[in-house]
Structure 1
Amino acid sequence: MNNLSTTTLTMTRTFDVAAERVFDAWLNPEMMRKWFFTLEGTNKVAQNNPQVGGTWEIVDHRGGQDYRAIGEYLEIDPPQKLVFTFKMPQFSELEDTITVELKELSQGCEMTFSQKIHVAHEENWTESDIEKALGEYHDGSEHGWNLMFMGLKELLETGKISYTGQ
């Protein structure tokens, strides 16, 4: 496809809890509603069918508007690996693929996260425009995940999230 480009975002985080706890936070709707594209106070929907071919959905309400994130599970290998699709239909029909890999450390675990981000080209875009858009999508995604992972770490290690901003 000439009208689509892809970039990959990779991030690594450590947690002072077992890999099973981190893995569960990606799949358990009660945990998801506290950190995954939403916060407990703004979450409207957190649904999940954690099996290969099963789907997940998060609806967050911010600034008077609902934001919906959906996807399908492609691979589930507890507690080492999770692969799923990610899409926000109100913004794009393009689906990203997210891979979460966990490995035990002597204390806690390490999570390696990667997101294959697809960017649709606009008409008359030059190579420079494409590179700029890929950079913006990559950096914007990294910023969002960074905030989510800070919340996830706090949730898993202390039982609650103190951060409430967007």
Structure 2
Amino acid sequence: MSNQSNVTLTMSKSFEVEADKVFSAWIQPELMKKWLFTMEMTNKETKSDAEEGGSWEIVDHREGKDYRAIGEYRVINAPNKLVKTFKMPQFSDTEDVLTISFEPTDSGCNMTFVQKIVVPHEEGWTQEDIDKACKEYHDGSKAGWEMMFEGLKQLVETGKIDYPTDNN
């Protein structure tokens, strides 16, 4: 039996701006640091060498900890398609693949997002354990991306993001 499973998450989002503006927010560090795995006020570092084979990195600092997301650009076909890897080394050595494609619409564009999620298995897991982990990875990823995509939409359509406030 394999020591990992693969789950595919597919999502879409409409934007009231042209695809090149949304595409840019995926590869330009000054835009990435506002929505992608981070918020402007918690972002510690954002790098993007936006060429095929180039790397990207985001470091977010929350509650005294650094969270690092890294990857490599595999396909850059602006403003139609972007393929890049995604990894958070502090949590796992697995690497997901993200494919983002854009289609023009009368009022802007539609973005289709596909994440090939690698779900590592722990020793002794039953099929039930594997199925549960796959669902948790899928649903957790979906919830995170929904939040990020809402920020992305605000950023590209209005120029700013209304970040949620912490009311603890």
**Under a length normalisation based on structure 1, what TM-score does the superposition of the two structures give?**
0.98
User: Residue 154 of structure 2 corresponds to which residue in structure 1?
Assistant: 154
Q: Partner of 2:164 in structure 1?
A: 164
Q: Secondary structure at the match of 1:71?
A: strand
Give the percent of matched residue pairs that are identical in Structure 1 and Structure 2.
58
Call closer, same or farther: CA 1:21–1:58 in 2, change over 3 Å: same
Amino acid at match of 1:61: H
Structure 1: 4+ residue segments shifted above 4 A = none
Match of 2:116, SS? strand
Corresponding pairs, count: 166
Query: 2:103 aligns to what?
Result: 103
Q: CA offsets, 1:94-132, max 9 Å, x none?
A: 000000000100110000001000011001000000000
For the residue of structure 1 that corresponds to 2:97, the secondary structure is strand
Shift of residue 164, structure 1, vs aligned partner: 3.4
- Look up the match of 2:12: 12
Contact residue 39 and residue 164 of structure 1 kept, 8 A: no
| Aligned positions of 1:42-121 closer than 5 A | 42-121=42-121
Aligned-partner residue type, residue 133 of structure 1: A
CA distance in structure 1 between the partners assigned to 2:113 and 2:34 by the alignment: 19
What CA distance in whole angstroms lies between the structure 2 residues aligned with 1:76 and 1:148? Answer: 21
1:31-60 per-position Cα deviation (integer Å, ceiling 9, x unaligned) = 000000000000000000000000000000
SS for the counterpart of 1:132 is helix
> Which residue number in structure 2 is paired with residue 139 of structure 1?
139
Q: Structure 2: which amino acid aligns with 1:124?
A: G
When the two chains are superposed, the root-mean-square deviation of aligned CA atoms in Å is 1.0
Query: What is the deviation of 1:165?
Result: 4.9
